[in-house]
Structure 1
Amino acid sequence: MNLMNTNYSIRDEIRDFWSERAATFDESVGHEIFSEEERRGWLRLIRKHLGEGEGRAALDLACGTAVISHLMNNVGFRVTGLDWSDAMLAQARAKAKTRGADIRFVSGDAENTMEPKESYDAITNRHLVWTLVDPPAAFREWLSVLKPGGKVLIVDGNMGKETWVKSLQKFWAKMTGKQLVSHMAPEMMARHQSIRSRVYFSERMPAEAIVDLLRQAGFEDIVVDRKLFDIHWAQARKMPFLRGLERMVQDRYAICATKPK
């Protein structure tokens, strides 16, 4: 990786970062699903906002190893998983083959999908929006590939917002001299923080800011759903105590928006 190359953009850096994490991505709680309780929570959320798939076409953006793609497939959608990382797509294809899931995977940029206009009934993504360099353009793109009346379901969170648990963790580290345990190596964490400092939502990402951009892009009937306790509780039970506690108090949300008919 040649960071001195002026043609190496922030988008390339994001792609390469996640490619390097692909092999171990599914080992982390909050990425793959590790309990039936969490699986039921996700299926509940999808059905609540998107309904049963019934063969309708869905585009799972930045699908990674296809966790959400499989959930959408389970609900009955005809799923296309799109990701810019070939390493992630390799993991996704292997998982789908093992599970016998009929999911189409394509390489592409979530901000410029190159998918046909008005071809999808639903778009999903999880923890994608914070990585977007140009969310307004991305949301216009998503609107264009949705059919009239189609919906986008965004699952993300205001991760830059300091929680009392995070403050407690920092205080504990200062008092004991012990570093906070991270699921990433220090070098990867530094790269993660560097990327975060240069994307559109470099600091906080309140749901209201996403709602405003979705509305500007042309979406309507926008709903913010913070009732994700079943998902977060199932995840927290698989985490070390303080990390699990932080998961429960973070400002995480789902946002569903509709393309006008």
Structure 2
Amino acid sequence: MKNYKAYLIDLDGTMYKGTEEIDGAAQFIEYLNQHQIPHLYVTNNSTKEPEEVVVKLKEMGISAQPNEVVTSAMATAEFISEASPGASVYMLGGSGLKNALTSHGLELKNDEFVDYVVIGLDEAVTYEKLAIATLGVRQGAKFISTNQDVSIPKERGFLPGNGAITSVVTVSTGVQPVFIGKPEPIIMNKALDILGLDRTEVAMVGDLYDTDIMSGINVDVDTIHVQTGVTTKEEIEQKSVPPTHTFKDLNEVIKELEK
């Protein structure tokens, strides 16, 4: 395996598993920091702000800075503000999405008469919220969703993800949203722009084939699959487009880099 000049790194299943540490994760980041290799954490989680992500990483013994975090909320806000500066938005989602949208100068409204309907993971979702979102899309608002993850791993098991909530509005209106998060190129291109390197010099590290590995494949970036999360080595071997590399864990990646 070649030594890449920078890494894009998934969080859940790669850096930690819910509230559990993953052996090799902190060591890998320590290796990158020691060798001054740039890296960004790329997450579909739209509920958390970069500072909150950093707190979680530090709880896992992983050194991180807010400017090393790229969330689907940040990529969504940037996407909308570039296309329609100052646009009005009706959103479902948490504080991470709300703050990202307002910090980009977008106007949040509580009715359906808006330029955009944006759906992020909302753990306090109600029928009324979904009704306003549906009416907004039917009125002609552009429909955006932070990511298409249909389920998310929690301590209780796999719970409905943002893609599941989004699907209610999609089914009701017949309108497909623009998805921002992995495996879509929008969030990956934002992260690559921040790094400012040729994409041949960057690798995407993650555990889940359908989001993490496909996100790298979709933007022509080499991929490093780790078998510490959802997708197993056996499942990887069945894929028609395999990752560039697959390893048991990040300790094995460090050993490869030290060769």
TM-score by length of 1: 0.37
Larger helix fraction of residues = 1
TM-score, normalisation: structure 2:
0.38
